[in-house]
A and B are shown apart, each in its own frame.
Chain A
């Protein structure tokens, strides 16, 4: 779109920005709610009057979480889960999406169906048999175990999401690359991947989150405090405190903060990708 510089455009910009801010406030209010409870005292949490902000500010619910002796280990494990899941997903999912988006191959619908089907399996169905097979090949209790299982769902996701991106890249682009003497791999890495950068960043974020937020696989495949991610502490708190909301909400906030920070860092790339335009010729 051409930029028309003028008062009308500026007014529209302002109007849209105001709407956006209102939307953001509405949407984030539950998050604010979570955070403000995390700074309330026990008495106020269970008080008879609902207050919208902590009247007597306390960090004790945070300390309950942070002083847990396995906190740092859990934090590390959550990052390991996130990054390994992301790594496996990118390594296998992106090439497969490319292969299925750019080529017409025999049996492509079989592949697609298989990938679709595999995403459909709920954890309650896969948990026991996966455990049995991992046990047989002595693959339980490693940092790779849970990510390998989680990637089972995030690879198909990546393929299904990225395939349309690869399809929409003009054929001229990689043909030109081929004419320049690029092999298929080189064309894939230097031409196609940059062309679908936005989609890839999406997959980076989502596959990381899949790993970071996983509870059931990490819990079942890795027993022991040194292997446990942050998410698994939810049961510890639920059992020990019931709904002691301030401690639970501090736990929730702690779980979300690193992801938000990571995302703020990555957002530049998302916005950058959008501005550059994924497919200009």
Chain B
């Protein structure tokens, strides 16, 4: 492309870039700085905190609670992505078909996505309580439901289900948008060639959708990995940290226990994991280009 055109591109991109650097650049530097020191309730304003290098990080990886929280975060994210994406994609393909109610109902499904996470958390707390809706429904088919939010083995499952309830329509919306950008002509020529729906899906839809699928998965990962509101309201991370994730744990350290440097270190670990995933995403994108 000509040099003039390149300059044009910067005119479009730079305002957003500068804005983002202004709003989020400082927080990042601030946290890196904080995570390398020993700032806590005793020295935040009185001074006397010192540079301790990677000590906060070393302590974290020796801390069983942190390791549990790290594991929870990955289990939560991967489980949510798996269900959200596959179910969301199936629904996207279904609603992409043209039938009378496809438009209105597609919109109706989005309602769960529109509910603020804090309210979703409350709703989850209600329907997963011992005598709540879920166990009531289970008892109707003869199953005695577990004490969902009380057992360390089931609380995370309940939280994952609530998150999927929100995530599925979100995935569907983004994937439908991706599907609409495929020109119908491609399908028409394929059906003339006699390809069945599975072949059409695998050889036409998937390759053409690769870019949207990648961004949906990537965004899904980011949003799920940094989850906060849902657990904060639904379980407060409990019982026994079984639903604590990096987001809630970092917040608890910084804002409840005033261990500011440790909280920052946890946030930086969260950030580091996402950064690696981001790099991976970029590599895939550049290959595709």
User: Could you tell me which A residues sit within 8 Å of B by CB distance?
Assistant: 1-2, 12-13, 16-17, 19-21, 23-24, 27-28, 30-31, 33-34, 37, 50, 92-93, 95-96, 98-100, 102-106, 109, 111-126, 128-130, 132-133, 148-149, 151-152, 155-157, 159-161, 163-165, 167-168, 184, 188, 198-199, 202, 205, 209, 212-213, 215-216, 231, 234, 243, 245, 248-249, 251-252, 255-256, 259-260, 263-264, 267, 270-271, 273-274, 277-280
Task: Tell me whether B114 and A13 are in contact (CB under 8 A).
Answer: no
| A231 vs chain B, min Cβ distance (A) | 6
Cα–Cα, bound, A165→B251 (Å): 36
For A50, the closest partner residue in chain B by CB is: B136
B181 close to chain A: CB less than 8 A: yes
Chain A residues near B267: list those with CB within 8 A: 121-122, 124-125
B56 close to chain A: CB less than 8 A: no
Task: Tell me whether A121 and B271 are in contact (CB under 8 A).
Answer: yes
Task: Tell me whether B111 and A31 are in contact (CB under 8 A).
Answer: yes
Q: Name the prevailing secondary structure of the B interface residues.
A: helix
Other-chain contact of A120, B94, B178, B275 (Cβ < 8 Å)? B275
| B283 vs chain A, min Cβ distance (A) | 9
List CB contacts (< 8 Å) of B234-289 with chain A.
Answer: 246-247, 250-251, 254-255, 263-264, 267-268, 270-271, 274-275, 278-279, 281-282, 285-286, 289
Task: Tell me whether A124 and B103 are in contact (CB under 8 A).
Answer: no
Other-chain contact of B116, A120, A231, A280 (Cβ < 8 Å)? A231
Task: Tell me whether B174 and A161 are in contact (CB under 8 A).
Answer: yes
A-B contact pairs, 20 of them (CB 8 A): A1-B184, A17-B101, A24-B109, A28-B108, A31-B112, A34-B119, A34-B123, A92-B16, A103-B12, A104-B289, A116-B281, A120-B226, A122-B247, A124-B251, A125-B267, A213-B116, A234-B119, A245-B126, A249-B122, A271-B107
For B253, the closest partner residue in chain A by CB is: A124
| A196 vs chain B, min Cβ distance (A) | 8
List CB contacts (< 8 Å) of B175-221 with chain A.
Answer: 176-178, 180-181, 183-184, 187-188, 211-212, 215, 218-219
| A108 vs chain B, min Cβ distance (A) | 8
New contact pairs (20) apart from A1-B188, A95-B13, A125-B267, CB-CB < 8 Å: A13-B100, A16-B99, A17-B99, A20-B102, A21-B105, A31-B115, A95-B15, A100-B12, A103-B6, A120-B226, A121-B27, A122-B226, A128-B30, A148-B23, A160-B219, A161-B215, A209-B114, A249-B123, A278-B181, A279-B183
B75 close to chain A: CB less than 8 A: no
